[in-house]
A and B are shown apart, each in its own frame.
Chain A
């Protein structure tokens, strides 16, 4: 991270962004699957859906994780280049692939595994 003024703080905050975002994604996915598909523009139905979304415990926890990730993002963007921070958050693929496999019980094929490893390699090129 040659052009970054505070490399340790930058790495720490990026780690928080990744973990917070990944936990948030998984929790929100669980929550929204419980709520069901949103396929209407009827305002009364939408309000009902909104109430169910906002009272869902998974959704609430997911939003809390996302909020932590978002504040960390704001902090790190105040000194680090977004062309480093944004792609570096792609490391969340590693976390998400693991999460999808073990918590959402989705199948992970070889292509997806190689893709995940390529993302790791790409992030390595960002920071060296």
Chain B
């Protein structure tokens, strides 16, 4: 398959994945804020005991995994991240790290837009400016020569 379509799909996948992981983790944090350790049962209690045996103060963190892996937003985000990871491996096998990495990082902008629209995050002008600067930096980095020929970028690797 051509390189560019793969990269575009990868960017969308990782951005939406980040947004969904964030939504999931924020939901779990909300649940955990009212969690009563004495009510823990089953796997949750088991994991809390393991963590407590390492450091008693940290027992509460043992209650996180069950809540995380049963959260739908988290599972969707994880699936998208795994999809991205497989796309990334494929891209790395046919282009240089120094070419693939800059282009996929356009996801920072898409992630910020999704964070604002879907997660209702407030993003200050200064933060947008920082994100745009990063975008320009990334463009310059992407323009740099690497062993992946320009021809490959347009036509896909041979």
A23-34 interface mask toward B, CB cutoff 8 Å, 1 = contact, 0 = none? 001101100110
Q: How many residues of A contact B (CB 8 A)?
A: 54
Question: Which residues 105-128 of A sit at the B interface, judged by CB distance below 8 A?
Answer: 106-109, 111-112, 114-126, 128
**Is B29 touching A100 in the complex (CB atoms < 8 A)?**
no
**Is B137 touching A37 in the complex (CB atoms < 8 A)?**
no
Grouping DSSP codes into helix (H, G, I), strand (E, B) and loop, the B interface class, with mixed when no group exceeds half, is helix
**Is B97 touching A100 in the complex (CB atoms < 8 A)?**
yes
Confirm or deny: A35 has a beta carbon within 8 angstroms of a beta carbon on chain B.
yes
**Distance in Å from the Cβ of A8 to the closest Cβ of chain B?**
17
A66 and B86 alpha carbons, distance in the complex (Å)? 13
A122 and B89 alpha carbons, distance in the complex (Å)? 28
Question: Which residues 25-66 of A sit at the B interface, judged by CB distance below 8 A?
Answer: 25-26, 28-29, 32-33, 35-39, 53, 66
Given A28-B89, A106-B98, 8 new contacts (CB under 8 A): A29-B92, A37-B157, A81-B121, A90-B108, A104-B96, A118-B137, A122-B135, A125-B127
Give B residues with C-beta under 8 Å from A: 18-19, 21-22, 25-26, 28-29, 68, 81, 85, 89-90, 92-94, 96-98, 101-102, 105, 107-108, 111-112, 115-116, 119, 121-123, 126-127, 129-147, 157
